[in-house]
Amino acid sequence: MKRALASSLLLTLAIAGCSARRSEPVAGPFQAASPEVQRGEIVFDRHCSQCHPGGEKGIAPAINNKPLPGFLIKFQVRHGIGAMPSFSREQLGDEDLRDVVRYLKALRRH
């Protein structure tokens, strides 16, 4: 009985230890370093976060963990490859998109 308990405890620990890293702030909470990045965060929260929560994997893949160049991010947003909807300039202005890209790059460095 005691052994069964101990091994199930070990199993739980092993599973917990192997689970993928989540958003635990390893480097402290994200702090926007410039007004542009801060604006980008607001725009991202409004337009992107429902599918990419905080840049992490939601119903869409994570985008805070890969070195996507800015033009690819812009292309993805304007043309909506795959299951992602596209965003027109009326929905999301060029300046807003530029700030979103800055925000995502800052998030990745974080």
- Residue 42 as a binder of ligand HEC (CB under 6 A): the answer is no
Choices 6-14, 17-25, 32-40, 78-86; region in contact with ligand HEC by CB under 6 A: 78-86
CB of 2 to ligand HEC, least distance (A): 48
Residue 94, CA distances (Å) to 56, 88, 99 in order = 23, 9, 9
In sequence order, which residues have a C-beta less than 8 Å from that of residue 49 and are 6 or more positions away? none
Question: Given the complex with ligand HEC, which of 32 and 68 has the nearer CB atom?
Answer: 68
What's the token pair of residue 1?
A: 């009985």
Choices 1-9, 19-27, 28-36, 58-66; region in contact with ligand HEC by CB under 6 A: 58-66
